[in-house]
Amino acid sequence: MWDDLRAHHARTGRRRFETLFDDRRAKDYSVRVGDMFFDYSKTNIDAEARALLIDLLEQAKVAERREAMFSGEAINETEGRAVLHTALRNLDGGPIKVGGQDVMPEVRTTLKRMETFAEKVRSGAFKGQGGAITDVINIGIGGSDLGPAMAVRALSPYHDGPRGHFVSNVDPGDIADVLRRCDPATTLVIVASKTFTTIETMTNAHTARAWMSEAVQDPAAQFVALSTSKSRTEAFGIPAERVFGFADWVGGRYSVWGPIGLSLMIAIGPDAFRAFLRGGQEMDRHFRAADWHENMPALLALVGIWHAQVCSYATRAVLPYDNRLGRLPAYLQQLEMESNGKRVSMDGADLTVQSGPIVWGEPGTNGQHAFYQLIHQGTRIVPCEFMIAARGHEDELHHQQQLLIANCLAQSEALMKGRSLEVARAMMEKAGLEGDELERQARHRVFEGNRPSTTLAYPRLDPFSLGQIIALYEHRVFVEGVILGINSFDQWGVELGKELATALQPIIEGKKPGTGKDGSTAGLIDYLQRHGA
């Protein structure tokens, strides 16, 4: 099937996909979920390519794997775990069993506990030593930081709770800058670590507790733990009623739907958080029920497979024309690159195709004045994924939203149409140039075009639509992973660096000799020690 797809691309890759447009293409190469709209017509995918891609999806048995995931089977085979972040947003569904045990009663109990605590913080019933909580600091890293930090920023128009802050980096500047802005007597600290051993998170947690202890008699009284380790949270001083655990079938980068989302719930309130869950739930139901030709996550995945594995485009740019989604590209970097950045298939054999692409991006219109030059005229083709809301939250600035929309649509149109040398020559001739100078200047103004993009549109960025967007991309990653034959739910590539850092720390501190280290590492240790490390 891969050979058929590559052969089709070889036959059609040079054509201008602008010529594919007829009266039906825009409709036939777009799909809706509720009020959300996904357009993939500005790509070189035609009916034959789509049919081959769907055959590839069916050959990989995506439907069977999908049902195994939703049913609680241990599809994370290298760790022997189920993959059930979808259960965290299963508000109206039936039982989901893992090992014969229905997990939904515990999910609902935990959600209710979160809601009760969030309301106490928001209402002022839960107080710090200095009174009602004014600031919440979430300390985590990876999925324990990227998810809630992204969502709190995205939903800032709904933020009516205490101020939210996020600390993730072990760089001392990260936590120092946050603590400087807070009053320890009215600050709540949330420590997010499943095992309560994550070195960066626990280092920052101890720093925050030391900071708070200088002004607060019982600093642990203003700490919350998002963890499954009762012994370690108890040793830290956090009582069981302020510990919110989650099962091992919730991966870190998929965890914002549960206790890791507590900082989001405190910021926007339990009702808005439930709307966020319902958005994810709607996308789940669509993903399970829709035919492949109308299945938004599957089609988004197939577009990704076409560009990355068939066309060999090494990167994809996520370009939200929604400034509050400024952290979404970073969130999707982890979701996609940690999930599908693998080199071996499920059975341990080397992959025969490239794994997931490099994911990057920034909000528009900022990116237009930064890296769009490369996207439009560079030698590498970068598939672009635009996002745009029909309405912003600032109705009095509706004209700016219209300008934003015009910019978003203009970019995707320009990527497709480009500008020919003939048109550029005519422009320069009109400007009064002639001869070699006309030719030289014209060539600088040529845009090849024929550069693919997709657009995801939604009425307004609210909790429900954000839930839809995140679940859409989660399922996209799942489908791509199944097609590639890999396990999207482990992350062994994170481990080696951690092990080496642990071994290096005592050498940096001067407690152990650096014998056996390579010349580069030894030289860097020497330099950094001599300059203050």
State the pLDDT confidence band at 346, using cuts at 50, 70 and 90. very high
- Please say if 498 is a catalytic residue: yes
Residue 437 lies in a domain: yes
Same domain, 233 and 359: no
Reply yes or no on whether 338 is catalytic: yes
Q: Is 532's pLDDT higher than 90? A: no
- Whether 84 has a pLDDT exceeding 80, the answer reads yes
Query: In terms of domains, do 243 and 102 share one?
Result: yes
The whole-number average pLDDT for the span 340-360 is: 95
For 197, list phi and psi in degrees, rounded to 5.
-130, -5
pLDDT at residue number 495: 81
Across 486-502, b (16+ Cβ under 10 Å) vs e yields: bbbbbbeeeeeeeeeee
Residue 14 CA to chain centroid, in angstroms? 32
DSSP annotation of 34 reads T
Residue 522 neighbours by CB distance under 10 Å: 14
Residue 420 counted as domain residue: yes
Does residue 382 lie within any of the structural domains?
A: yes
Select which of 369, 399, 511, 531 is catalytic: 369
Q: How confident is the model at residue 119 (pLDDT cuts 50, 70, 90)?
A: very high
496: pLDDT strictly greater than 90: no
Q: What is the pTM of this model?
A: 0.96
**Strand pairing of 163-167 and 135-139?**
parallel
**Residue at a domain's end among 242, 273, 304:** 273
pLDDT band at 494, cuts 50/70/90?
confident
Residue-number span of the structural domain to which 256 is assigned: 98-273
**Which residue among the candidates 200, 282, 338, 362 is catalytic per the annotation?**
338
At 104, the pLDDT band (50, 70, 90 cuts) reads very high
77 in any annotated domain: no
Confidence of residue 451 (pLDDT cuts 50, 70, 90): very high
For 337, list phi and psi in degrees, rounded to 5.
Answer: -80, -30
Indicate whether 220 and 327 sit together in one domain. no
pLDDT of residue 499: 85
Determine, yes or no, domain membership for 18. no
Please measure the distance between the N-terminal and C-terminal CA atoms of the chain and give it in whole angstroms.
55
Please, are residues 54 and 242 in contact by the beta-carbon 8 Å criterion? no
Q: To the nearest whole number, what is the mean pLDDT of the chain? A: 96
* pLDDT of 498 higher than 90: no
412 and 296 within one domain: yes
252-307: per-residue pLDDT in tens?
A: 999 999 999 999 999 999 999 999 999 999 999 999 999 999 999 999 999 999 99
Residue 231 sits in a domain of what CATH number?
3.40.50.10490
Classify residue 514: in a domain, yes or no. Answer: yes
**Which residues fall within 8 angstroms of residue 122, CB to CB, at 6 or more apart?**
160, 161, 162, 266, 269
Q: Is residue 232 part of a domain?
A: yes
Band the pLDDT of 483: cuts 50, 70, 90: very high
pLDDT in tens, 208-267: 999 999 999 999 999 999 999 999 999 999 999 999 999 999 999 999 999 999 999 999
Question: 54 and 145: one domain?
Answer: no
- Domain shared by 221 and 355, yes or no: no
Distance from C-alpha of 409 to C-alpha of 413, rounded to nearest angstrom: 6
Are residues 456 and 311 part of one domain?
yes
Q: Looking at the structure, tell me whether residues 476 and 518 fall in a common domain.
A: no
| The pLDDT of residue 533 is above 80 | no
**Active-site choice (27, 398, 498, 512):** 498
Is-contact 394 402, C-beta < 8 A?
A: no
**Residue 440: its pLDDT value, please?**
97
Distance CA 487, CA 441 (A): 51
Give the mean model confidence (pLDDT) for residues 445-452. Answer: 97
CATH of the domain at 526: 1.10.1390
Same domain, 357 and 485: yes
307 counts as catalytic? no
What is the dihedral sign for C-alpha 255, 256, 260, 262? negative
Q: Are residues 511 and 477 in the same domain?
A: no
Domain boundary among 220, 242, 273: 273
414 and 368 co-located in one domain? yes
Calculate mean pLDDT across residues 310-330: 98
What span, in angstroms and rounded, lies between the C-alpha atoms of 3 and 210? Answer: 60
Q: For the chain, what is the domain count? A: 3
| Average pLDDT of the residues in 358-368 | 97
Q: Is residue 84 part of a domain?
A: no
| Contacting residues for 370 by C-beta, under 8 A, at least 6 apart | 362
Residues 145 and 216 in one domain: yes
